Amino acid sequence: MSSGERGGWVGEDESARAAGLSAAARERIRGLSRLYDRRQSALIPALFVAQEEAGYLSPEALEAVAETLDLPLSEVTSVASFYTLFYLEPVGRHVIQLCTNLSCMICGCGDVARRMQEILGVGPGETTPDGRFTLRAVECLGACEEAPVMLVDEDRWPRLRPEALPGLLERYP
Amino acid sequence: MSDSILLRWTSEATRGLEGYRAAGGYQAARRALTELTPDQVIAMLADSGLRGKGGAGFPTGQKWKFIPREAPVKYVVVNADEGEPGTFKDRTLMEGCPHLLLEGIVIAAATIGARRAYIYLRREFHRCRHLLEEAIAEARRAGLIGDRLLGTEHSVEIVVHSGAGAYIAGEESALLESLEGRRALPRLRPPFPAQSGLYGKPTLVNNVETLCHVPAIVGLGPQRYKELGPPTLFSVSGAVRRPGVYELPLGVTLRTLIFDHAGGLAPGRRFKAAFPGGSSSTLLCESDLDVRLDYDSLRGAGSMMGSAAVIVLDDASDMVEVIARAVEFYRDESCGKCTPCREGTVWIGQILERILHGGGREEDLGLLESIAAGMTGTCFCPLGESVPPNLVLSLRRFREEYGRRLSGEARHGG
Amino acid sequence: MAAEASRRMIKLEIDGLEVAVPAGTTVYQAARAAGIDIPIFCYHDRMPPLGACRMCLVRVEKMPKLAASCTLEAADGMVVDTKGAEVVAAQRAVLELLLANHPLDCPICDKGGECPLQDQTFRYGPARSRFVETKRDFAKPIPLGPLLALDRERCIACWRCVRFGEIVAGDDALKGFARGFASEVGTPHAAPVESKFIGNTMAICPVGALTSRSYRFRARPWDNRPIPSTCTYCGVGCATWLDVRGGKIVRARAREAAGINDVWLCDLGFFGHDYVGSEERLRTPLVRRNGDLGEATWDEALGLLSAWLRYATEGGPGRVAFLGGRRLTNEDAFVAARLFGEVVGTPHLDHRVDAPSGSVGLDVRWGLCTTLKELGQADALVLVGCDITEEYPVVWLRIKAALDRGASLLVLHPGRVEVRRHAGSELVVEHGRLGEAVSLMAGAVEAARTPTLPPQHGAAGPGVGGGTWRDGIAGAAGLLSSSRRPHFIVGRLALDAPDGRATLEACARLSAACGGVVHVARGRGNDFGAQRFGLLPGDGGLDAGGILRAAAAGEIDLLYVAGCDPATAVSDREAWEAARRGVGLLVVHESFMSATAQAADVVLPTLVLPEKGGTVTNIEGRVLPLQPAVKGPGRARGDAEIFALVASRMGATITYGTSDELLDGMRAAVPELAVGEVLPPPPAPAPIGGGEPPAQEPPAQEQGLVLLRVDRLFAAGSMSGRCRGLAGVAGPPHCVVHPSDAARLGVEDGALVELAAGDALLAVVARVGDATLPGQVLLPRGYDALPVNGLPAGADGWTRVALRPLRPRTAPRAEGSP
């Protein structure tokens, strides 16, 4: 399993990034819009492209997406703010999504969450001071047979036990 | 799983195109596209009795038939936004055998005459996304999708479209809004997607599992398919020893499913209740263990088939906590469009939270029932409507657990 | 709702009453038609139903649960109950939920007294709340720009404001953010809202969540006296209510006028009235003595004026000339025309002060040649050099409605305009080539095939919306070919350009080829009344440009100006100044110490339009009523009264006992005159020679940036500059430079730059954007502090400027801060 593909700005000059989004990312977004009969359909995929590149959806990144897809900034920002997987604030290098829904709750995610908070020293929705992890308590991840379960970036970790957490987190420098 | 018609595909051997074809994959698509007319395919679906597996249970054959034949532009949209708590069968199918879904999509698109299909996949299913994209590339190279696929007149492009974190996007009209790049707010219906769906064009929206049944129905014929159950995927999780997806005939009892298949409960534990079709279905209690898990029986028991996701609670679960957690889910996932859901879930959540933390008042229980009554039948879509039944059931069937909270006997988390 | 074709009648029963409504009617509308009141919040009858607030639930027999009556289409045989116990319980439940987190700060809320939430709670609500949790609380209202304040905790998430921006205005100004209980309306990152119609959202907000920053805490609605009036800014003639309290106009609201503004206004209409009560209004006549203007009595001023009139006319009536009309009523214009035409006897009258000499606008009649309603039913609309939301904003709302019904929009402009997102086809062409583009389209439509274009047109470039001329022309022609009757709206930017004649002629040709109609979107205020009531050159008379030239040549002794400010309005300031130097006496009717008034010898203080009775004529030629809302300051008088006084000093009588008598008098000149009706078009003005021959060649750009002077809705002129909020929305005087020129010239956004043409210099803030093209710099009119007519045109009619950065941007712009 790999943690998310980081496409985009490696090798691009600083000024392209300062303008919100690299030329390569803009080109990817334009490519995405060709998959749909209306370009606004590419908005959510485009926001992921922007988020992967910028780390989060900064105002500049949102503006760049709006400009590239020729959509109103108000609409782009409004849509981004609706979905939980778009980050309008900076996040850590790794995002932990710990499921706290029913099946995981029944299977002891409470203990896992408590241990996780002890280890990281932050609560749900917070980022560790070293910028390494952002911890999020999330709704059902659709992997209840593996409860308690979490995602770290794109990796799914099944049947969590509190005592296994330190070793597991070490894999994410 | 040897008799299974769906799960048999979810093995390493049939995950790739070569293995899938070697085991007979894409034969049904070939048959549907080259030997059968669209009407015949639709008739087979209708005869099979297949109903939507996403939760609403609408007869699939009818749904396909509603798509106007003459419309020049049509779409297939696959609802792969599996988010109903306790449900993971679609993920299992996609991770197990992405080509099974693609074959179902090809049959659907060719039958209704759509040239584009979108798989609206929840973002968290990263592995599914990678596997599907790989499988689409494989299938395109093999001429199974793309222009003039299988050497026929049909052309279908399949695009994997990521969701971005919103349970409501699993509701088909909200899904279409989201696919159009907007906030996932449910649309007013009618018009239904079959008339006016994606970009206002006729659109067939089907759940992943639903489409995965299609190759089997076309391949086996509706009679044989029905004799095999009809097969249904049950996601079983919670307080059972062997959680997982089980392919069993529709109508298996809750008891059989839990105790014969899912390994029963942990030693010394006692069954308390179960959601039979995801957290939006009304809880079944101990007295309901012999209820058959099919559409009519469950309706008769005051619940519903939903997504056939069985979440089992044993006596270690605190019902007030369970209900509070469920309400919290609907509160967090409420889109905010309509008043009862937006405001009601928060108010109920606040009261339950207060009760859990020792601040409950006797009159809160009546107030909860009253707020629940005010939300019942008044919400715009089913999301908000999911809250009252279990809240009210818990207030009636498990009132003593609330009582213990009010009297301070029970503490939060204890 | 349903298609017009299915106007079958539906019979249903509501609360025991038999109701018959046309098919497609909702149950809510059917109930309302039957006089049955159903409470609503999210529904607004100018937008499609949403079904979000759930306040309008009703019981329908045979339906499994309560239904939202606003979204439910009435069907034959339906039996509806709007008053039963179950319905009442649901209404109470929804209201209780809405009120749970509503602050109930009604005593200090501007909406108090006209608040639907308050009213519905009074009628349907629970008497007391069972909500004991902590209410949602936001400490402060958020200012979203200079006009709008948002109190988030009052919002009941009805989505009306958001949908207004999406559906009615098409500007997506306010949006929903976050979701669920955290849902909020607002702007991205609480930036100043970008809209020209935001006042409407305040009007339709069913609570006090969106309020006017200028009206906040100023009055309670029951203390206001509403006066029906007509907005006179752009000439669309929107119907308004002016709410008056203590002799001051405290706010303006839209008054429903089906054929004009429906129920909407633009923000100039909403917020453009504060100037009326300005302390800077002129209160007394001024007369120049020993070089300085000083206060005088009416008697002194009129005595001086009439002595000069007599002196001038002794040399011949043609030694007197009159300019103006935009800010006059029809009555004023009529009396002025009689004074100068009959009493003085001069033919030199013109209201078209801002049209460049020799421009095609002087040869055609200004205004629409159909009604606004008809325009709104068009199946294709073509904007040629017309930035519609800046120039005639409420016309855009009609166009937007037409687009929603399936009409297509084509935009040809030397830059990007706000409505481009809604255009089916957008052709961005350099200024000076609009006519060429239209000609090619005409050729394409005539040939009904893709035109054969010279090779250079095939290249991609800044030309056509990022594509090529060939694609753009073909696309546009295709769009026009499928229209039954396209409406061409040719704007001032196109008409006033040196190639305006070519553009207009090409439009006429294209329109003829596709069976369309051409509108001349020229004129503001009551220009349309002035042209119908006599303020045009008489036989042998000079037009405005001719008058200025004659004055400069010493052929005019007395120049009389009313209802306009030629010093800032004329296209060439030097021509005005030469005229001023050449005349013996300059008489000006003014309300403020405008640039013209400062140069005048006699300044007569006048009432402004909201203080006047009478009528004005709008862009359709429709006569609309005014009613004095407040009294004028000091000794200011109405223009017609002043003209009549002047006449009497000249020994003539132009007085009318009553306004009806005056109307009768006007009917002698315009027999069709009737308030509310459209006047027949006056004959097109006779072309007058004397101007330079129109240049056809696009301007060569190597000689500098081509200057485009443009109208902007928000600016800071003598009126708008004195309105709270509006000047803030307009921002400082500025020019717009294309990013590529900005990079080339080292100009960053917000920098101070100098524009130079000949010896003339102008220092302004530069904004970098794509409202213009490379090689062009855009300069908004309407700022009193920015004399855009001071930069002279070259011999070919184009103004070219050299742009030089003076200082970099020093501090971030403080837009939106309170």
Report pLDDT digits (tens) over B189-241.
999 999 999 999 999 999 999 999 999 999 999 999 999 989 999 999 999 99
Residues of B engaging C, defined by a Cβ cutoff of 8 Å = 166, 183, 188, 331-340, 342-347, 350-351, 354, 367, 370-371, 373-375, 377-380
Please give the pLDDT value at position C699: 67
Token pair, residue C265, equals: 């206004």
Neighbours of B5 (CB within 10 A): 21
Residue in the structure block whose two tokens are 């917020």: C271
The DSSP string of C58-107 is: EEETT-SS-EETTTPBP-TT-EEESSSHHHHHHHHHHHHHHHHT----GG
Q: Do A79 and B86 touch (CB under 8 A)?
A: no
Judged by CB atoms closer than 8 Å, whether chains meet at B237 and A144 is answered as yes
**Any C CB within 8 A of A88 CB:** no
| C chain contacts of residue B350, beta-carbon cutoff 8 Å | 133
Return the pLDDT at B412.
56
Identity of the amino acid at C808: P
Q: Is A70 on the interface with B (CB under 8 A)?
A: no
List all residues 6 or more positions away from B200 whose beta carbon is below 8 Å from its beta carbon. Answer: none
**C176 in contact with chain A, both atoms CB, cutoff 8 A:** yes
Mutate one of C162, C177, C181 to test the A interface: name it (highest A CB count within 10 A): C177
Q: Cα-atom radius of gyration of chain C, to the nearest Å? A: 28
> Which positions of chain C have pLDDT values less than 70?
1-6, 448-468, 684-702, 809-818
CA pair distance B341, B384, nearest whole angstrom: 5
Across the interface, do C172 and A74 touch by the CB < 8 Å criterion?
yes
**In terms of pLDDT, which residue wins out, B325 or C120?**
B325
CB contact under 8 A, B165 and A43: no
pLDDT tens digits, one per residue of B114-127: 999 999 999 999 99
The CA-atom distances, in angstroms, between C58 and each of B409, C41, C84, C87, C124 are: 44, 15, 9, 6, 14
pLDDT tens digits, C86-98: 999 999 999 999 9
C189 touching A, CB under 8 A?
A: yes
Residue C699: cis peptide before it, omega within 30 degrees of 0: no
Q: How far apart are CA A128 and CA C556, in angstroms?
A: 82
**The model's pTM:** 0.94
Whether C559 contacts C579, CB under 8 Å: yes
d(CA B313, CA B274): 6
Question: Cα separation of C559 and A20, whole Å?
Answer: 57
- C631 has a chain B CB within 8 A of its CB: no
Q: Which of residues 94-133 of A touch B (CB under 8 A)?
A: 97, 100-103, 105-107, 110
Residue A15 forms contact with B (CB below 8 Å): no
Q: How many helices (H) and strands (E) does chain B have?
A: 18, 9
pLDDT mean over B61-87? 97
Q: Encoding tokens for residue C469?
A: 């001329």
* 3-state DSSP of A41-110: HHHHHHHHHHHHHHCCCCHHHHHHHHHHHCCCHHHHHHHHHHCCCCCCCCCCCEEEEEECCHHHHHCCHH
- Taking the C-alpha atoms of residue C561 and residue C559, their distance in angstroms, rounded to an integer, is 7
Q: What pLDDT does C471 receive?
A: 77
**Is the distance from CB of B128 to CB of B80 less than 8 angstroms?**
yes
Containing H/E element for B342? helix B339-356
| Average pLDDT value for chain B | 96
Residue C747's SS3 state is coil
Q: In the structure encoding, which two tokens stand for residue C687, read together?
A: 């072309």
CA-nearest of C28, C8, C10 to C20 is C10
In the predicted structure, residue B411 carries a pLDDT above the cut 70? no
List, in sequence order, every residue forming a beta bridge with C383; answer none if it has no partner: C411, C489
Amino acid found at C542: L
Q: Tell me which amino acid residue C418 is.
A: E
A9 pLDDT tier (thresholds 50, 70, 90) = very low
Q: A10 pLDDT exceeds 60? A: no
Q: Report chain C residues whose CB lies below 8 A from the CB of B375.
A: 93
pLDDT at position A8: 27
Alpha helical stretches, state H, C533-629: 544-552, 566-569, 573-582, 595-599
The answer to whether B282 and B303 are in contact (CB under 8 A) is yes
Q: Which residues of C touch A78 (CB under 8 A)?
A: 175-177, 188
Q: Do B329 and A82 count as a contact with CB atoms less than 8 A apart?
A: no
Q: Give the residue among C391, C432, C439 at the shortest CA–CA distance from C415.
A: C432
Q: Is A125 on the interface with C (CB under 8 A)?
A: no
Q: Does A45 touch chain B (CB under 8 A)?
A: yes
Whether A145 has its CB under 8 Å from any CB of chain C: the answer is: no
One-character DSSP codes across C776-788: EEEEE---TT--G
User: Which amino acid is residue C90, in one-letter code?
Assistant: A
What pLDDT shows up at residue C487?
97
Contact B71/A at CB under 8 A: no
Please, which residues bridge with residue C460 across strands?
C468
**Neighbours, chain C (3 or more CB pairs < 8 A):** A, B
Residue-level pLDDT at C617: 97
Nearest residue in B to A71, CA atom: B181
| Chain B residues near residue A102 by CB distance under 8 angstroms | 85-86, 238, 275, 279, 311, 322, 325-326, 329
Interface test with A, best of C174, C175, C195, C422 (most A CBs within 10 A): C175
Which pLDDT value is given to residue C481?
86
For residue B183, the chain A residues in CB contact (below 8 A) are 78-79, 82
CB C803 within 8 A of CB C747: yes
- Taking the Cβ of residue A82 and every Cβ of chain C, the question of whether any pair is shorter than 8 Å is answered with yes
The burial of C62, by beta-carbon neighbours within 10 Å (0-12 exposed, 13-18 middle, 19 or more buried), is given as exposed
**3-state SS assignment for residue A139:** coil
Taking only the tens place, the pLDDT of each residue in C493-533 is: 999 999 999 999 999 999 999 999 999 999 999 999 999 99
Residues in C touching A73 (Cβ below 8 Å): 188
For B299, other C-beta atoms within 10 Å of its C-beta total 12
How far C157 CA lies from chain A's nearest CA (Å)?
Answer: 14
Distance CA C603, CA A81 (A): 58
What is the separation of C-alpha C83 from the centre of its chain, rounded to a whole number of angstroms? 45
Among B285, B273, B232, which residue's Cα sits nearest to residue B87?
Answer: B232
Q: Tell me the chain A residues in contact with residue C187 when contact means C-beta distances shorter than 8 Å.
A: 74
Single out the residue of B367, B368, B342 nearest to residue C54, CA to CA.
Answer: B342
Residues in chain A: 173
Q: Of C171, C177, C421, which is closest to A78 when you measure between CB atoms? A: C177
Token couple for C125: 């609500």
Q: Which chains does chain A touch, 3 or more C-beta pairs < 8 A?
A: B, C
Separation CA C213–CA C724 (nearest Å): 9
- Residue pair C670/C532 in contact (Cβ under 8 Å)? The answer is yes
A37 touches chain C (CB under 8 A): no
- In C, minimum Cα distance to A58 occurs at C189
Q: How far is Cα of residue A67 from the mean position of the Cα atoms in its chain?
A: 22
**Long-range CB contacts (within 8 A, 24+) of B171-179:** B171/B381, B171/B382, B171/B383, B172/B54, B172/B77, B172/B79, B172/B205, B173/B381, B174/B335, B174/B381, B175/B77, B175/B79, B175/B81, B175/B120, B175/B205, B176/B77, B176/B203, B176/B205, B178/A44, B178/B120, B179/A41, B179/B77, B179/B118, B179/B120
For the record, the structure tokens of A152 come out as 């770290």
User: Three-state DSSP class for C723?
Assistant: coil
Query: Which chains does B contact via 3+ CB–CB distances below 8 A?
Result: A, C
Instruction: Say if residue C687 is preceded by a cis peptide, omega within 30 of 0.
Output: no
Nearest-CA distance from C191 to chain A in Å? 10
Nearest 5°: phi and psi at B17?
-65, -45
Listed by number, the residues of chain B in 391-410 with a beta carbon closer than 8 Å to a beta carbon of chain A are none
**Is A135 an interface residue toward B (CB < 8 Å)?**
no
Residues sharing a CB contact under 8 Å with residue C182, sequence separation 6 or more, in sequence order: B336
From chain C, the residues in CB contact with A77 under 8 A are 175, 177, 188-189
Residues of A in contact with B161 (CB under 8 A): 41, 44-45
Q: Taking chain C, what is the end-to-end CA distance rounded to the nearest angstrom?
A: 42
* Beta bridge pairs of residue B156: B146
Beta bridge partners of C737: C768, C777
> With contact defined as beta carbons under 8 Å apart, do C497 and C504 qualify?
no
What phi and psi, each to the nearest 5 degrees, are found at residue B376? -75, 120
For residue A148, is the peptide bond before it cis, meaning its omega torsion is within 30 degrees of 0?
yes
Task: Point out the least confidently predicted range of B152-166, B227-241, B255-269, C467-481.
Answer: C467-481
Mean pLDDT for the stretch of residues B133-155: 95
Round to whole Å and give the CA distance between B133 and B130.
5
The confidence score (pLDDT) of residue C254 equals 98
What confidence score (pLDDT) does residue C277 get?
A: 96
